Structure formats: structure tokens, C-alpha cells
Structure 1
């Protein structure tokens, strides 16, 4: 049963997000608003990849493939299900920036998020079940191949635009609607962060960490390591699909080139830079590595794209030399430390627990 405190917390969070959504969309310039939106989507992607690479210690480098699955599935739903399911949406895809427009698009957005997440989760299960028996470099090769398979598949599927990309059903004049608002992006940010944090301190989270620390020891203690890794893979894929749905209905177009290896490399860089296993690190690294390139691109133009990967590679090399565990390591940003408060002498709460090797209570 939900407590009154939780109900008030959820209500306050929704109210704040709704207020900020209308306030920022009216006050921010187009470039600044784009940076805010893409940063939020990147946070969802980075935290979801951290569930796989950080919590269970796997090495997936094809995460953009799950984003592509979610983006195309959600976009196809809102375009081809327009007349039957969402007949009240404008055919041009443009909704008014008002409360009426938000309420008009809310049912379609919820369906798009669920479709993107569930399709990506199913694909994640199909890919993860056989491949997660592999380890290290072999798993990286499999996930890299998966990302390329998805890209080639959508390039050869005319129903979703093929290599030209997908903007809608041009023959009938129905286009991908602009359903993604600040509210939906940062609601998903809150959801993925809360789920990750609660998972980390749960029994299942202890199983995740035990697999990362010592898979052989975890098996000896009765942990089904394959099931644990597949669960993390499916959960990470689900949130990547949700991020894909957000991306598709923000850009109002999806293209195979948007989800290639370079994009997957961006997300791996975010997780490694922030610290494998650190939710806070993934969030901050995603914001910095999304906002900074967008700002530089608006200033330097196309020249920046030529040097972006070189800059990322140099950043990773420098990080490995100076702080190989990442900015936050496996720790989290704690409010009591941030504001200089000292805890009492009582037992440590969940927020005070550092990431320790999971050696007990795994069953």
C-alpha cells in the first residue's frame, strides 16, 4: 500500500515537471532547449547502459541498436496507428505548445514509450539469452554485430523509409508527431534513476554486483549468473527503447545513421567517464558529453564533427592514466556530503552504503 508520503512525493514531482515543461519551452531559445532535451535522453541511455556494463560488469558496445529498435517501433506505431488509435492527432505532426496539446498527445506518448521499451526488451532477451554466456571481448563483438544488424535491417525496410530515414507515411500525409516534451523526457530520467537506485540496494541488485565482482564465486553460492545477466540486459534494453521513443518524437524523424557504432561509443564513453557502476557519474557524464558537443557544434559548425571522436579517445586515454575508475568510481553523490552535514553515530542507511562486494544474502 502506498504511503501518503510517497503519494505526495510523486504528485509534487509530476507537478514540478509539468510546470518546468511549459516554463522552459516558452523561455529557452531553440538551441538551449534542444541541448536540455538531448541531454535528458542521453541520461536515460547512459544510466540504462550502466545497468549492464556497470552493475553486472558486462561489456556491451551496441546499446544504440536498442535505441534504434525503440525509435522505429514507437514511430511506426504513432504513424501507422494514427487513424485507428490516435485519430485526434494532427496529420502534420505538430501539436500546439499548450496544455491542450499536451493532453491531446499524452495517450499517444504513453503508448509510444511502452511500444519502444517493450520491443527493445524483447529484442534484448533474444540477443542476450545466447550471447551473455560469452564474456569480455566476445560479448563486445556480439553486441557490436547486433548494432550493425539493426542498422542494415532498417536500411533495407522500405516501410520505415529505408536508407532515407523515416519521417512518416508520406503517401497519406501523416508524419511523426512532436510528442516529446520536457515533461516526458525528465519523467523518464527520474524513473530510470529511481529504478537503478532501488535495484542497487535490493536482493536482485546484490546478485548483479556479485556477478560483477566474481562470477565463479556467485555461481558457487547458487546465483544463476546467466539469468542475472539476461535480466540486466533486458532491463537496460527496455530503457534504451524508451529513450529511442523519446528521440523519435523529438526529432520527428529517425535515420539508420543516427544509431551506428559512433553513437554506441558515445554511451560507453559516458558510462566509463562517470564511473562504471555509478548512477551519479552516468548522469553527469551524459549531460556534459551531450551539452558540450552541441554547444561547440553550434559555434564551430561541421568542423567539430571531424574531431569529436579524436577528442573522446584522448579523453578516455587521459582518464585511464589519471583516474581509471572514472570520475565517481563506484560511489554516488550524497547530499549530506554536498551540504557539509555529518551523520550521527547510528547504523548506516541505504544512502550511506558504499558499493561493497556482494558476498552475502544473495538468495
Structure 2
């Protein structure tokens, strides 16, 4: 029987919190302590020490709270609930199922709630775009274990493919959508070939370079992509050929006329919302299904140990290429929807920070966790959209969230994943 670890005294906890607040103050001073103010005399540098004090006080109180909770509350809670948790192994999976069903119901009825308006639907549509991108990147990073820092390149390929095909060839959204996914998947295969023998940091550097190459090509190929000015006048999607406009082009029938409704711009907003919801759900169902197929198990085998995967007779080349191609295809679908929703695209929408946000959503939610990605998208994308007055501190909060999740819960918010294969109890012959 081992002796219990000595409990830290209150003075030790206070000194630890004070040291953490001092470090926070030193880091916050160059970030929050200065501000440029524009006046009639020009720019003036204003010192804001009060914000530094706020940051130090917040870190002091937070550090002290977590230290007290870990030293006094955690042992009691663990001792009281540990036997009950061990006796109910299926509880986490059932809870996630209920949470997922609840989220799905809320997503379906959101446009019809009393407090719903155009601003809320637009924000929900944006969150669903990032959810779909997170689920697509989850195939590459979460299942196959391939660190991709250039995922926004496939997003851009899908958007520009849709814009160019619809503008120059007059193709509808429903034809351009699969074509954009196929082109993005082809770019994923093109990226996969140079990185077949790379892993870890080297793979991340190559994918980062690929993303920047695609962006620079878009900027400098002005006669095709419009260069820095982007592409405008992108075709809007239709409901089985019924345009959502006040008057149909060519004297046809509009969506409102066909259903006997008064025209309202809100109809197109709701249609786009349900369209991205359907695309996101299709991505989720495909990912859940493919995890249980041989290719999905091969991705997880590659993630755990590539040498063991090769020794089992699996072909790592085809496994990596399939992961890059399928993940890139979903980014292409999301990019085509982004282009038709905005009606305008430019290289500024596909910078490296977009790849960082999508990767952070996957890591924060828990690699391989579908519901976790939804929660992470709500936190990293939804909260900054709702609290625009805190926009200047967005990246500070973004970095702090990443630090906290890596220190206290490196596996992500919801790291539990159902096994793809369950072994039954041993039989008499096997025993």
C-alpha cells in the first residue's frame, strides 16, 4: 500500500498563482498594453496598463481555482463517482448519441424559431461550413493521422472550380458541385504523391507549402482567377430549376410563383441553410460509414503504426492517397457552397489562418470525434461571430484556448470514439 501524495498548502498554491499571473502580465504587456489612437494630429500611442492588470488578475484567479479544485475537490469527486462510472461503460456513448440527436433537432427547427432572423441563419450557415470542413479534415488528421496544414487549398480549388465552371460554361450548381469535389480530390491525389514517404513535421511543412502555392497561383493568374480582385457575379443555386429571384431569367417560373408564395429574400437564406445542413449531414454519415469499412480501418491502422500497417500487407501508398483524396473532396464541396453563397470569392478568403482554424476545430473537438468537432466549431467560429465587440482579442482568446486544451485535455473536448470492431467474450475453444 503506497502512501498518499502530500497535499499542497495554501501558501504554495498562492505562490504558484502569483507566478502564473506575473508571467501572464509579462506576455500581455506587449499585446494588450499598447493601442494606436487616430486623432487630428495623427497616430498616438496609448498605454493601457489596466488591460494588463485585468489579464494578470484573470490568470491569478483561474490558476488558483484550478489548483484548489485539483487539490481538494477532484479527489472527493473521483472517490464518490469512480465505482459508478466503472459500472456503466456504455454511458458515454449513449450520452453522445442523445447530444447528437438534440443538436440535429435544433438544427432542423432553427429557422422557424420565434427569435430566428436573417443574422442568426447566416451565422448558423457559416458554422455549418466549418463543421463540414472539420469533418473532412478529420478523415486526414483524425483517422489517417496525416498532419495537413494546407487544407484550405482544397477549399479554394472547390470554390474557384465552381465559379469558373458556372461562369464560363453556364453549368448549374447541381452539376458544378460534384465536379468541384472531383477536381479537389484530384488535387488531393496530386498532393499525396510527393508526401508518400513523409510523416510528422516534414509532412506538415510540405502541406503548408502546397497551400501557399495554390494561393499564390490564384493571386498571379489574373486572366483566369481574377487575381487579387477575385470573381464576382457567381451563379446562385436553384431549387430543382426554380430560381429564388423576384423574376426568373428568361421568363420562367420562380420558386415563389410555383408554390404560390410572396417573394422574400428570406427564402433564399433558409434554402442555403438547409442545403449546407444536408451537405454536412451527408459528410457525417459518409464518415461514420466508411470508418467501419476496410478502408476506414486501414486509415486507423496507418495512424497507429505505419510499420505494423505495412507488415500486415496493407499498402500505405493507396491508404494515404485515399485519405487525401476523400478529405479534399469534402473541402471542394464546402468551397463550392461557399462560392455560391457569397456570390464573390477572392484569395483573401483562403489564407493560412483558415487552415489553422479548421485544424484547431479538429484538435479542440477531439481527433476522430464527430460531435466534438461540432462543439469546437460553435466555440471557435460561433462565439467570435456573436461577440463582434471582442474581435480585436479573437486571436488572443484563440491561442489561450489552444494552450488550455493542450495542457488540461490534450485528447480534445470529446475524445471518446466507439471502436470499429468489438470482440465478443472468449469461448471455450479460444480459451
TM above 0.5, one fold? yes
Tell me: CA distance 1:291–1:204, structure 2 relative to 1, closer, same or farther (3 Å): same
Report Cα offsets for 1:290-336 as digits up to 9, x if no partner.
Answer: 21111122xx1xx61x33222211111100111010011142xxxxx
Larger radius of gyration between Structure 1 and Structure 2: 2
Tell me: CA distance 1:146–1:181, structure 2 relative to 1, closer, same or farther (3 Å): same
The one of the two structures with greater contact order (alpha-carbon pairs below 8 A, sep at least 6) is 1
User: Does the 8 Å CA contact 1:66/1:240 hold for their aligned counterparts?
Assistant: yes
Tell me: CA distance 1:25–1:256, structure 2 relative to 1, closer, same or farther (3 Å): farther
CA distance in 2, matches of 1:129, 1:27: 50
Match of 1:314 in 2: 400
User: Does the 8 Å CA contact 2:166/2:235 hold for their aligned counterparts?
Assistant: yes
Report Cα offsets for 1:169-212 as digits up to 9, x if no partner.
Answer: xxxxxx44266712220111111100110111111111111111
Match of 1:228 in 2: 319
Aligned counterparts, 1:1-40, within 5 A: 24=112, 28-40=116-128
CA distance in 1, matches of 2:115, 2:166: 29
Partner of 1:117, secondary structure, is: helix
User: Does the 8 Å CA contact 2:297/2:420 hold for their aligned counterparts?
Assistant: no
CA distance in 2, matches of 1:166, 1:307: 31
Match of 2:183 in 1: 119
Match of 2:231 in 1: 166
Match of 1:256 in 2: 347
Match of 1:177 in 2: 236
Measured after TM superposition, the shift of residue 146 of structure 1 is 0.9
- Normalising to structure 2: TM-score of the pair? 0.62
Aligned counterparts, 1:136-285, within 5 A: 136-158=200-222, 159-168=224-233, 175-177=234-236, 181-285=272-376
Match of 1:92 in 2: none
Measured after TM superposition, the shift of residue 33 of structure 1 is 1.2
Tell me: CA distance 1:131–1:177, structure 2 relative to 1, closer, same or farther (3 Å): same
CA distance in 1, matches of 2:277, 2:323: 22
Report Cα offsets for 1:5-64 as digits up to 9, x if no partner.
Answer: xxxxxxxxxxx99x9599559984222111111111111100000000000111001111
Partner of 1:133, secondary structure, is: coil
Measured after TM superposition, the shift of residue 284 of structure 1 is 2.2
CA distance in 2, matches of 1:355, 1:55: 12
User: Does the 8 Å CA contact 1:185/1:246 hold for their aligned counterparts?
Assistant: yes
Match of 1:69 in 2: 157
CA distance in 2, matches of 1:189, 1:156: 32
- Normalising to structure 1: TM-score of the pair? 0.74
Tell me: CA distance 1:112–1:28, structure 2 relative to 1, closer, same or farther (3 Å): farther
Measured after TM superposition, the shift of residue 288 of structure 1 is 2.8
- Equivalent pairs counted in the alignment come to 286
Structure 2 residue runs without a partner (length 5+): 1-103, 239-270, 424-431
Partner of 1:181, secondary structure, is: helix
Measured after TM superposition, the shift of residue 262 of structure 1 is 0.4
Structure 1 residue runs without a partner (length 5+): 1-15, 86-107, 169-174, 332-352, 359-363
CA distance in 2, matches of 1:41, 1:236: 14
